[in-house]
């Protein structure tokens, strides 16, 4: 009997010890997902991933306050804090100075905006209108260091520009590019910029719409495919970062629709895929080389169910001329000592489509042509003498 009681006591002690051990290991621990490593950047495809954005390098959990308050924060708050800690150092403050001559002598006009670091060579993407005509450009990093920047290239057509600074790699935190073609209306987004000079401000919202068109800085040039957001952006946000919930750049904030000049819930951003397409050309050539179709003047047609662009004047020996397109004819009529010049529009081709896309506005036409480089061939569908004809044109 004594042996049996002894065995029962030993078993009981072991059971209690095992239970205590299991309870100890069952206590909640802080588990934060690692920050994903940034992929190769479109601006520098051969460059390795940025070590500064590697797992654990820039994380909110390094902040003692974050660790202290972790248990009381909502999951959504934790992810937002982590996103900001991961990405805010990728945003820079841009200050410009432009010297103007006036009756009173030279006047210095200040300007401000935001920019996004895209690789550790010091390249920064921003809006063309932020740095356009600036005589001096200063970039302020997250650590407060202010550096002189040089313009690498700008493209007013898409409102994208690239500038560069000379800074140590450990002070540069390139952003991770996302795929803007996969965006959905209603998707949650975040914007980081410098509204009114308030550095690296975070705002949030939703994608309100996609494929918007907004006026560009050049005549007869609109920017298409724009993302509409309801996140608060204000003067100074131009050139700033638009992020998805994974901390990937899905756009560059560029404009607001506002009568007062302040945010009223309608902001616009250039898609990241457009940025990824334009930036390498700016770095390589300082400009974007687009194909020239050789059309000088067109007239919008919208009558009797017919919509298109009538060719009024072609560039002599230009691409359209060589392809056999026809513009309006100039006819000179003589009456004795007098002569009269008139234009015969009946000979002019009317463009109704390019590469299968309907053309109803000048904007529609320039947008399609701008997507091509010299040497590409586009197919124009034109109405000629009431018959539709397809004509291939090799851009120059």
- Tell me the catalytic residues: 129, 159, 238
Phi then psi for residue 366, to 5 deg, are: -65, -35
Report DSSP letters for 254-265, one per residue.
Answer: EEE--SSSS--S
* Residue whose token pair is 């009568």: 259
C-alpha 124/C-alpha 148 separation (Å) is 12
Characterize 151-167 residue by residue with b for buried, 16 or more Cβ atoms within 10 angstroms of its Cβ, and e for exposed: bbbbbbbbbbbbbbbeb
Could you tell me the CA-to-CA distances from 76 to 32, 68, 184, 322 in Å, in that order?
13, 17, 20, 60
DSSP-derived secondary structure letter, 303: E
Choose among 329, 247, 288: nearest CA to 79.
247
**CA dist., res. 172 & res. 118, Å (int):** 9
d(CA 325, CA 11): 98
Can you say how many angstroms the Cα of residue 165 is from the centroid of all Cα atoms in its chain?
A: 20
CB 38 within 8 A of CB 50: yes
Residues 6+ apart with CB under 8 A from 49: 37, 38, 39, 40
Residues 240, 198: Cα–Cα separation, whole Å: 12
Could you tell me if 209 and 221 are in contact, meaning their C-beta atoms sit under 8 angstroms apart? Answer: no
CA angle 275, 276, 282 (to 5 degrees): 75
Partners of 177 in the β-ladder: 249
DSSP 101-155: EETTEEEEEEEEEEEEE-STT-EEEE-HHHHTT-SEEEEE-TTS-EEE-EEEEEE
């Amino acid at each position: 009997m004594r042996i049996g009681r002894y065995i029962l006591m030993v078993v009981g002690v072991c059971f209690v010890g095992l239970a205590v051990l299991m309870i100890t290991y069952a206590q909640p621990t802080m588990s934060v997902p690692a920050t994903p490593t940034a992929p190769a950047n479109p601006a520098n495809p051969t460059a390795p991933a940025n070590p500064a954005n590697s797992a654990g390098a820039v994380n909110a959990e390094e902040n003692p306050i974050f660790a202290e308050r972790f248990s009381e924060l909502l999951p959504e708050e934790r992810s937002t804090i982590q996103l900001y800690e991961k990405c805010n150092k990728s945003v820079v403050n841009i200050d410009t100075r432009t010297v103007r001559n006036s009756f009173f002598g030279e006047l210095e006009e200040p300007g401000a905006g935001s920019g996004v670091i895209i690789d550790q060579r010091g390249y920064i993407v921003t809006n063309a209108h932020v740095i356009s005509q600036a005589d001096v450009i200063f970039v302020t990093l997250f650590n407060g260091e202010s550096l002189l920047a040089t313009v690498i290239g700008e493209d007013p057509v898409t409102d994208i520009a690239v500038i560069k600074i000379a800074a140590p790699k450990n002070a540069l935190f390139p952003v991770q590019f996302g795929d803007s073609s996969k965006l959905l209306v209603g998707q949650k987004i975040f914007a980081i910029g410098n509204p009114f000079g308030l550095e690296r401000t975070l705002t949030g919202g939703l994608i309100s719409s996609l494929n918007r068109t907004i006026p560009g800085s050049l005549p007869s040039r609109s920017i298409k495919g724009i993302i509409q957001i309801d996140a608060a952006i204000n003067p100074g946000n131009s050139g700033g970062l638009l992020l998805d919930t994974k901390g990937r750049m899905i756009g560059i904030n560029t404009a607001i629709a506002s009568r007062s000049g302040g945010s009223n819930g309608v902001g616009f951003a250039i898609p990241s895929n457009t940025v990824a397409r334009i930036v390498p050309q700016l770095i390589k050539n300082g400009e974007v080389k687009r194909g020239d179709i050789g059309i000088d003047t067109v007239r919008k047609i919208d009558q009797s169910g017919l919509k298109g662009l009538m060719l009024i004047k072609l560039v002599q020996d230009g691409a359209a001329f060589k392809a056999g397109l026809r513009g309006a004819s100039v006819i000179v009529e003589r009456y004795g000592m007098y002569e009269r010049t008139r234009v015969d529009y009946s000979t002019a081709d009317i463009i109704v489509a390019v590469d299968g896309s309907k053309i109803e506005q000048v904007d529609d036409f320039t947008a399609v042509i701008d997507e091509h480089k010299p040497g590409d061939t586009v197919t124009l569908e034109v109405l000629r003498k009431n018959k539709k004809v397809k004509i291939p044109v090799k851009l120059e």
